[in-house]
Amino acid sequence: MVEEVFRAEYGRAVSVLTRLLGDIDLAEEAVQDAFATAVRRWPAEGVPPSPAGWIITTARNRAVDRLRREAKGHEKHAQAELLRHEPEAREVGDVADDRLRLIFTCCHPSLGTQAQVALTLKLLGGLTTAEIARAFLVPEPTMAQRIVRAKGKIRAARIPYRVPRDADLPDRLKAVLAVVYLIFNEGWLDRADLADEAIRLGRVLAELMPDEPEVWGLLALMLLVASRRDARLRDGGIVLLQDQDRSLWNAEFVAEGQELVRRCLRWNRPGPYQLQAAINAVHSDPPTDWHQVVALYDQLVAMTPSPVVALHRAVALAETEGPRAALREVDALDLDRYHLFHAVRADLLHRLGEDPAAALEAALDRAEHPAERDLLRERLGRLGGLAAADQQDHADDHHERDQQPHPDRHAT
Amino acid sequence: MTQKYLLSIYQPDGDAPPPEVLGPIMANLEALNEEMRAKGAWVFAVGLHPPSTATVLKAKGDDVLMTDGPFTEGKEHIGGFTVIQAEDLDEALEWGRRLAGVLSPLSIEVRPIAG
């Protein structure tokens, strides 16, 4: 029980305490104290009616005690007094706001992407340093140091604990969404826990910023992609969309994702995440309406011009205009380093009756994920039989794995 | 309570731009400094002579070793700096952004001053 509350309420509690104490480390300590007390007392005394409120109040009292104990100078006395008189109501009323502030602090652009991700998972997600280290395949001391250094920068450089002013909000929001999507991508293929955490953070953002369509777009995108999670790996190998057992799709996620996409459409303030969600919504409603997919890619290309987005658009174009037209577009792209560029070329060449072997080899040379490499090797082995439709799904699958945080690189 | 920040200006080694280029830049810089003063942000600002004029000292036991500078053998060195005071990093970065704009394409490093 305490564990559930911990996962759900840790970020909220740390946010409130950070405001009260003006320091993230002190806030974390106080909240951890409170949870430790809960572990001792709840089993015997029962869970309080408002577990989150109990944790926050207890953490605050702990912080007051600690400050009093440690009070040497006048300043800390004053701080303790201030805390003691802090009216309860304000705490509760400001909770949502507090979490939002903490998110913007964790994702401040002066912090590196890795630090942003680690802080967000630690402070808002309530993950332990060990869990984050495991998720990102780095030794725990490395992750611990990364977090300590980031917190040190927040304190020393005075990274503000504040929701950015309107003029800065669009850029700052982009950074926050990129962090959440990065967490999702890190987990979508084989680490369901991280993907779930990203979706949970996405829901928090949607709750805190309900008027930002891109926030809902990101949530919809993650739900739709995650809906196919159970269907997309079989015996460690990747299963292409049209081969997937649709009964394994998560119907709730599909329904919620599609509903959110419809809501975004009504809003009519499109953005990269909403468009990618819309493309995934089309795929979630088979057979895929490729004309609609191309139209959505046209919008996405206009909004976030990038060769990767253009590559995915070309794949859809092969379905509406044929492989010749698609190949013309693909060959014009400067993407030699990207394995999917070569994989897409291979399939288009094959459909045109030309030899795809060299392109498949080039793709294999550049692919990194074992499951991707297996799929390419298998194709090389059989050399043929694959339509570009397969490739589209393959592209969808793999592109999301791209770890760059920029939304334009996450086109489906 | 405000925090002080060091805004270091990094510039490539080599000759300074000709006067007709440098003139307007220095005028803009002075205008920015003036604005910083008016807003109470300005603490201190200097420009430096080229890195080739620097001398490096390092104590070794009782001796102090002296070498021709600069300390690091990079292609860019600090050409000057401004110290400002600000409420928080966002405010400091805003001034830093302005400075980078005036001194484009030079890089500006914003670093909090301890104490």
**Which domains does chain A possess?**
2-93 (1.10.1740), 95-205 (no CATH), 212-412 (1.25.40)
Instruction: Name the nearest CA neighbour of A397 among A216, A202, A262, A234.
Output: A234
Instruction: Name the nearest CA neighbour of A142 among A125, A118, A159, A116.
Output: A118
- CA B70: distance to chain centroid? 15
CATH number at residue B20: 3.30.70.1060
pLDDT at A166: 86
- CA A340: distance to chain centroid? 22
Nearest chain A Cα to B94, which residue?
Answer: A168
Residues of B in contact with A168 (CB under 8 A): 90
Q: Mean pLDDT across chain A, nearest whole number?
A: 85
Residues A159-205 pLDDT 10s? 999 888 888 888 899 999 999 998 998 766 667 778 888 999 999 99
Residue to mutate among B1, B90, B97, B108, with most A CBs inside 10 A, is B90
Residues A24-74 pLDDT 10s? 999 999 999 999 999 999 999 998 999 889 999 999 998 888 888 877 665
Distance CA A360, CA A358 (A): 5
CB-side neighbour CA atoms (13 Å) of B35: 11
Quick check: A157 and B90 CB within 8 A? no
Cβ–Cβ < 8 Å for A357, A203: no
Quick check: A157 and B89 CB within 8 A? yes
pLDDT at A83: 62
Count the domains in chain B: 1
Distance CA A225, CA A249 (A): 10
pLDDT > 80? residue A92: no
Q: Strand B3-12 and strand B107-112: pairing? A: antiparallel
Query: Where are any strands of DSSP class E within A95-174?
Result: none
CB-nearest to B112 from A108, A156, A160 is: A156
Quick check: B89 and A164 CB within 8 A? no
Please list, residue by residue across A265-296, b when 16 or more beta carbons sit within 10 angstroms of its beta carbon and e when fewer do: eeeeebbbbbbbbbbbbbbbeeebebebbbbb
Residues of A in contact with B114 (CB under 8 A): 156
Quick check: A156 and B93 CB within 8 A? no
Q: Mean pLDDT across chain B, nearest whole number?
A: 94
Q: Which of A97-101, A157-161, B47-51, B76-80 has the lowest mean pLDDT?
A: A97-101
Q: For residue B73, name the pLDDT band (cuts at 50, 70, 90).
A: confident
Match 């200006």 to its residue by tokens.
B9
Nearest chain B Cα to A162, which residue?
Answer: B90
Range of the domain at B16: 3-112
Chain A segment 95-114 residues within 8 A of B by beta carbon are 108, 110
A326 CB-contact burial (10 Å; exposed 0-12 / middle 13-18 / buried 19+):
buried
Q: Strand B76-86 and strand B63-68: pairing? A: unpaired
Residues A359-410 pLDDT 10s? 999 999 998 878 888 888 888 887 744 444 444 444 444 333 333 333 333 3
Say which residues have a Cβ less than 8 Å from residue A240's Cβ, sequence separation at least 6.
A390, A393, A394, A397
Residues B12-62 pLDDT 10s? 988 888 999 999 999 999 999 999 999 999 999 999 999 989 999 999 999
Cβ–Cβ < 8 Å for A308, A329: no
Nearest chain B Cα to A109, which residue?
Answer: B90
CB-side neighbour CA atoms (13 Å) of A74: 0
pLDDT > 60? residue A79: yes
Q: For residue A82, name the pLDDT band (cuts at 50, 70, 90).
A: low
Residues of B in contact with A78 (CB under 8 A): none
pLDDT at A411: 36
Compute the count of residue pairs across chains A and B with CB atoms less than 8 Å apart: 29
A160 touches chain B (CB under 8 A): yes
Q: For residue A78, name the pLDDT band (cuts at 50, 70, 90).
A: low
A158 touches chain B (CB under 8 A): yes
Distance CA A109, CA A11 (A): 20
Q: Which of A142-156, A166-180, A181-195, A327-341 has the lowest mean pLDDT?
A: A181-195
For the record, the structure tokens of A336 come out as 């030699």
pLDDT at A137: 83
Instruction: Name the nearest CA neighbour of A63 among A106, A97, A19.
Output: A19
A176 C-beta neighbours (distance < 10 Å), count: 25
pLDDT at A388: 42
Distance CA A111, CA A33 (A): 28
B21 touches chain A (CB under 8 A): no
ipTM: 0.89
A410 touches chain B (CB under 8 A): no
Match 């990747």 to its residue by tokens.
A238
**Helix, strand, coil proportions of chain A in percent (round to 5)?**
75, 0, 25
